Amino acid sequence: MMKKKFPLQGIKVLELARVLAGPWAGQLLADLGAEVIKIESPTGDETRAWGPPFHGGDSSAYFQSTNRGKKSVIANFKNKEDCTMVKNLAKNADVIIENFKVGGLINYKLDFDNVKSKNPSVIYCSITGFGQNGPYAERPGYDFIIQAMGGIMDLTGESNGEPQKPGVAYADLFTGLYSVIAIQSALLERQTTGRGTHIDMSLFDTQLAVLANQGASYLNTGISPTRMGNSHPVIVPYQKFDTQQGPIIIACGNDKQFKNLCIALGWKFYKAKEYLTNKDRVRHRSSLITLMQKHMSALSRDDTLSKLQKAGVPCGPINTVAEALTDAQAMHRKMVYEIDNQAMIRSPILFDTFALKYKRLPPKLGEHTIEIKENLNRNTFWNRNH
């Protein structure tokens, strides 16, 4: 089937954001076909220097991972000409993403109220650590701090070990995704009303929201959940087990899967009354896991995984990043692709009738400044009346 235009083709996005949450949102919008102009200070987004590794000596792999599909324009907001250029872009943008401190853009008349007065249909998304109001609103927001304050670190790590952060910027990435959901919803609503809106996104709010079942557990019991390593608080067995060749993950989500696991491996203790149901297994977690691990340690990893997969038992190896990106499923789904011979990880979104836009590498600092300035001067860029 011939795929149609990109889903967000024609949408103009002005990104006044740096580091991760805002740029992550901007990159996804670019993948979906929006035209994204990234405004950078003369020294550039600080993630350009967050390495090694670096790509071509210009920017880090970190920057490359979150800025594909955009154009880069250098602007010093303290320079009147540069500030006027950005305001001209804002006047005709469909979407603005910014992550300045609360009130940080007022002096440049690039805050929501000032932009809205010239562009009443603008979708203006502000991303901060703690939101636009509240006792912490003035604080800077960094993912690591948000993870610590938002509860996820206390849930991550071994039960007898220290709190741990996940291996990626968890709160930033989720906030970027929630921001795109909010932006798309606002764009859809604007088609009916013609009105723009101000979106107030907070890393702290997002981190609390994605506590999910753990947050609900506290609200229902008044007891704060604690970290359990690789075990699940309410499903057993659902954790890591060690085989002769290394660890595997087994995740039995129901009683039938547990029975199939035992039959596949020749175990009969699934018939014991203390292990019949998940509720029983949670109650007798310690004895069951000890028994399972004793048997598992004598088994071959690959043979065990093969038997369990044939029996329909959810299981898998613990891959390195390299193994994950070169896994047969990842290769089949073409999760890694190239733009001008540079390997990148694609967006996980696939449409049957729409394509995603992977045509532009992450930009060099200021790569498109002259082009856009010249077009603005000719009144041929982002001019709705042109």
- Report the CATH number at residue 134: 3.40.50.10540
Kindly report, residue by residue over 82-136, the tens digit of the pLDDT.
Answer: 999 999 999 999 999 999 999 999 999 999 999 999 999 999 999 999 999 999 9
What six digits make up the tokens of 16? 């006044």
Same domain, residue pair 259 and 123: no
Domain of 173? 12-210+334-377
Mean pLDDT value across residues 216-241:
94
Greatest CA separation for the chain: 80
CB-based contact 184:34 (threshold 8 Å): no
Same domain, residue pair 112 and 249: no
pLDDT over threshold 80, residue 214? yes
Percentage above 70 pLDDT, the chain: 97
* pLDDT band at residue 384 under the 50/70/90 scheme: low
pLDDT over threshold 90, residue 385? no
CB within 8 A of 47, min separation 6: which ones?
A: 18, 19, 20, 23, 59, 60, 62, 63, 66
Same domain, residue pair 157 and 295: no
Mean pLDDT value across residues 287-316:
95
Same domain, residue pair 144 and 206: yes
What six digits make up the tokens of 239? 């954790």
Task: Tell me the H-state helices in the chain.
Answer: 21-31, 61-64, 80-92, 112-118, 143-149, 170-193, 203-209, 212-221, 255-264, 278-283, 285-296, 301-310, 321-325, 328-332, 369-377
What six digits make up the tokens of 254? 């129901």
Residue 222 burial (C-beta neighbours within 10 Å; 0-12, 13-18, 19+):
exposed
Mean pLDDT value across residues 233-242:
95
On whether residue 215 sits in a domain, the answer given is: no
pLDDT over threshold 70, residue 1? no
Same domain, residue pair 199 and 251: no
So what's the pLDDT on residue 4?
A: 64
Mean pLDDT value across residues 226-243:
93
Residue 68 CB coordination number (10 Å): 24
So what's the pLDDT on residue 135?
A: 95
So what's the pLDDT on residue 3?
A: 60
Domain count, the chain: 2
CB-based contact 86:93 (threshold 8 Å): no
Same domain, residue pair 297 and 353: no
Percentage above 90 pLDDT, the chain: 85
On whether residue 320 sits in a domain, the answer given is: yes
**Which positions are annotated as active-site residues?**
172
So what's the pLDDT on residue 34?
A: 96
Same domain, residue pair 255 and 299: yes
Closest CA to 349 of 30, 101, 22, 72: 30
Among 284, 304, 324, the domain boundary falls at 324
What six digits make up the tokens of 321? 């990043």
- Report the CATH number at residue 305: 3.30.1540.10
pLDDT over threshold 90, residue 382? no
So what's the pLDDT on residue 386?
A: 38
DSSP 8-state assignment for residue 383? -
User: Which amino acid does the sequence have at 242?
Assistant: D
Round the average pLDDT of the chain to a whole number and report it.
93
On whether residue 385 sits in a domain, the answer given is: no
Least confident of 56-60, 159-163, 181-185, 345-349: 56-60
CA distance 360 to 344: 11
On whether residue 230 sits in a domain, the answer given is: no
What six digits make up the tokens of 15? 């990104």
On whether residue 140 sits in a domain, the answer given is: yes
So what's the pLDDT on residue 381?
A: 74
On whether residue 187 sits in a domain, the answer given is: yes
Mean pLDDT value across residues 16-28:
97
Closest CA to 151 of 134, 171, 167: 171
CB-based contact 133:51 (threshold 8 Å): no
Radius of gyration of the chain, Cα coordinates, nearest whole angstrom: 25
* pLDDT band at residue 202 under the 50/70/90 scheme: very high
Kindly report, residue by residue over 50-68, the tens digit of the pLDDT.
Answer: 888 887 767 899 999 999 9
Closest CA to 99 of 25, 32, 8, 207: 25
